[in-house]
């Protein structure tokens, strides 16, 4: 079996492994590098720096890092900045490990698998790509949340007997937003609200809805939800401002067919088409 290899056949003899957790990380190093081969470190920045200091003092050159949630990201960044080669390993590779489960056993088993080269490291893009990806994802989240809050605001408008969606094709268009802003400001006169009707709106001025009687008590939910929508729109616009500069750096980095400054598969580079997967 592969795990019966002798120590002199180890692919990464000085490899360490980290079992990542939310509040602490368990770290295992080869027994010939330290008397205490397994240690626990906290998740704070000072703890991560102490972890990196200990690994360097032990002579570790490669680290297998379990990709647990998003907890691995600070660990990855600190270790990479300190000059260690970090392998991001899918936690599902450890799913069928036999024996009783504990943090110590997991990190030791992960270190043993890494030592004999039985793990595959996941590809992580460079800093420039990470910036572009973070901005795009943030904008997508804001747009999705904005659409959800529009539906909630429309529900509050219906409770006020304002059927904007029955009159306007786009409630968040010029006419719809002007009417909503007036309602939020306290305007209740149908004639004043109808003045915001754009010439391209098919509905007549008399068809533009207005609040009905005591139902105006729902104006507070409308006000709060519309305020959140406009705030979210400004945030997504800010992402749109950042995106061109981020994409400019990304295009500069990917001006060749490969992500990097060298050519050939021996350099460990990834074809540009991989970025879309």
The pair of structure tokens assigned to 112 is 């043993």
Cβ 58 vs Cβ 6: under 8 Å: no
CATH topology of domain 2-123: Nucleotidyltransferase; domain 5 (3.30.420)
Percent pLDDT > 70 in the chain is 70
Distance of alpha carbon 153 from alpha carbon 38, whole angstroms: 55
Rounded to whole angstroms, the Cα distance separating 196 from 198 reads 6
Burial class (CB in 10 A: 0-12, 13-18, 19+), 266: exposed
Q: How far is CA 255 from CA 98, 250, 252, 258, 259, in A?
A: 47, 9, 5, 8, 8
Is residue 45 predicted with pLDDT exceeding 80? yes
Q: What is the Cα–Cα distance from 207 to 210, expressed in whole angstroms? A: 9
Tokens of 263: 């050519």
Of 82-96, 153-167, 259-273, the range with the lowest mean pLDDT is: 259-273
Domain residue extents for the chain: 2-123, 128-253
Least confident interval from 43-57, 144-158, 201-215: 201-215
Query: pLDDT, tens digit, for every residue of 122-161?
Result: 878 777 777 777 778 888 888 888 888 888 888 888 887 7
Q: Tell me, what's the pLDDT at 266?
A: 31
The strand order across the sheet containing 62-66 reads: 38-42, 24-28, 15-19, 62-66, 85-89
The confidence score (pLDDT) of residue 62 equals 93
- Which token pair is 36? 């205490």
Q: Which of the listed ranges 74-83, 86-95, 207-216 does the model predict with the highest average pLDDT?
A: 74-83
SS3 of residue 21 by DSSP: coil
Query: Once rounded to an integer, what is the mean pLDDT over residues 88-110?
Result: 71
């Amino acid at each position: 079996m592969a795990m019966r290899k002798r120590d002199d056949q180890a692919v990464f003899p000085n490899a360490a492994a980290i079992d990542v957790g939310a509040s602490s990380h368990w770290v295992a190093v080869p027994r010939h590098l330290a008397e205490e081969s397994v240690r626990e470190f906290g998740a704070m920045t000072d703890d991560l720096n102490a972890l990196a200091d200990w690994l360097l003092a032990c002579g570790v050159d490669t680290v297998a890092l379990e990709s647990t949630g998003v907890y691995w990201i600070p660990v990855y960044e600190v270790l990479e900045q300190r000059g260690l080669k970090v392998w991001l390993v899918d936690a599902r590779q450890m799913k069928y490990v036999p024996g009783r489960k504990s943090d110590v056993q997991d990190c030791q088993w992960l270190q043993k698998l890494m030592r004999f080269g039985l793990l595959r490291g996941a590809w992580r893009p460079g800093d420039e790509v990470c910036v572009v990806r973070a901005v795009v994802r943030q904008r997508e989240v804001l747009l999705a949340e904005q659409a959800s809050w529009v539906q909630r605001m429309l529900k509050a408008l219906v409770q006020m007997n304002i059927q904007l969606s029955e009159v306007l094709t786009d409630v968040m268009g010029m006419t719809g937003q002007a009417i909503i802003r007036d309602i939020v400001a306290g305007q209740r006169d149908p004639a004043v609200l109808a003045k915001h009707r754009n010439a391209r709106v098919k509905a007549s001025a008399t068809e533009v809805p207005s609040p009905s009687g005591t139902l105006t008590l729902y104006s507070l939910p409308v006000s709060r939800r519309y305020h959140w929508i406009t705030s979210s729109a400004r945030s997504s616009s800010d992402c749109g401002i950042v995106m061109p500069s981020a994409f400019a750096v990304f295009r500069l980095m990917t001006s060749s067919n490969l992500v990097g400054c060298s050519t050939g598969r021996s350099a460990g580079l990834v074809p540009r088409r991989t970025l879309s997967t």
